Amino acid sequence: MNNTINMLLVGVGGQGTILASRIIASVAQSRGMSVKLSEVHGMAQRGGSVVTYLRMGEKIFSPLIEKGQADIILAFEQLEAWRSLPFLKEEGTVVVNSQVIYPVPVILGDKKYPPEILSRLKKNTSRVLEVDAPALAQKAGNDRTVNVALLGVLAREMEFDKEDWEKALENIIPEKVLEPNLKAFQYGYGEG
């Protein structure tokens, strides 16, 4: 099972991690890979940390990924990238949105937001891609395309064809917001 790709998508409830994971899974499926995807709904979604596990390969049993097993972490927020780092494999890839969202204990002043997360990520693996995804989304004309902009960056790191990604976007994203999403993907892809 050496060709299995383990990917962790981490972020803050409401950021669109679930949709992003569906798009990646759809691309993998279109390539004939076996896919398992696991997420948690309910209370955690109310602005808490959210994690989606995505595994793609020939034969997958467990839908979960454990510490030290992730090939790729796709992080929608800096702190969540840092929190999930123990899941990364040695020399695994971190694609991180440079956006910062304070959790309530930081807003209240009870805790500090850890400093210099991006540079410390780079100390742990040479494969860190930081992306100003909100800027890309804005450029694409829709603030809600942050997740797809990140996928564009991710796509450059993966072996799937660009056309497969675009096809998956067309299949999954609702028609009326497809155009800005395709643009955001393109901008992300250009950044990668």
Partner 1 sequence: MEKELLSGNEAIARGAFEYGVKVAAAYPGTPSTEILENIAKYQGIYAQWSSNEKVALEVGIGASLAGSRVLVAMKHVGVNVAADPLLTLAYTGVNGGLVLVSADDPGMHSSQNEQDNRRYGKFAKIPVLEPADSQEAKDFVGVALEISEEFDTPVILRTTTRVAHSLTQVSLDDPGEFPLKEYQKNPEKYVMIPAYARVRHEHLEEKLLKLKEYGENSSLNFIEWGEKRDKGVITSGICYQYVKEALPQVSCLKLGMSHPLPESLIREFARGVEELYVAEELDPYLEEEISSLGIKVKGKELLPLTGEITAGMIQEKIGGEKTFNPLQLKDYTPGEIPPRPPVMCPGCPHRGVFLILNRLKLVVTGDIGCYTLGCLPPLEAMDTCVCMGASIGAALGMEKANPHLQGKVVAVIGDSTFFHSGLTGTLDIAYNLGSSTLIVLDNRTTAMTGHQDHPGTGRTLMGEPSKAADIPTIVKALGIERVKVVDPLDLEKVEEVVKEETGSSQSSVIVFQKPCALQEKERGEALSVDEEECAYCTFCLDLGCPALINDYQEEKVRINSLVCNGCSLCQQVCDCGAIRKAGDKGE
Query: Would you tell me which residues interact with partner 1 (CB under 8 A)?
Result: 12-14, 25-26, 29, 34-49, 61-64, 66-69, 79-80, 82-83, 85-86, 88-90, 92, 101-114, 120, 123-125, 143
Q: CB of 17: closest distance to partner 1 in angstroms? A: 13
- Please, are residues 131 and 191 in contact by the beta-carbon 8 Å criterion? yes
Q: Residue 62 or residue 161: which is nearer to partner 1 going by CB?
A: 62
Q: CB of 186: closest distance to partner 1 in angstroms? A: 23
Q: Residue 63 or residue 190: which is nearer to partner 1 going by CB?
A: 63
Q: Residue 18 or residue 153: which is nearer to partner 1 going by CB?
A: 18
Alpha helices in the chain (DSSP H): 17-30, 78-84, 104-107, 117-124, 133-139, 146-157, 162-172, 178-191
- Please, are residues 50 and 32 in contact by the beta-carbon 8 Å criterion? no
- Please, are residues 144 and 16 in contact by the beta-carbon 8 Å criterion? yes
Q: CB of 92: closest distance to partner 1 in angstroms? A: 7
Q: Which residues contact 112 (CB under 8 A, 6 or more apart)?
A: 106
Q: CB of 47: closest distance to partner 1 in angstroms? A: 4
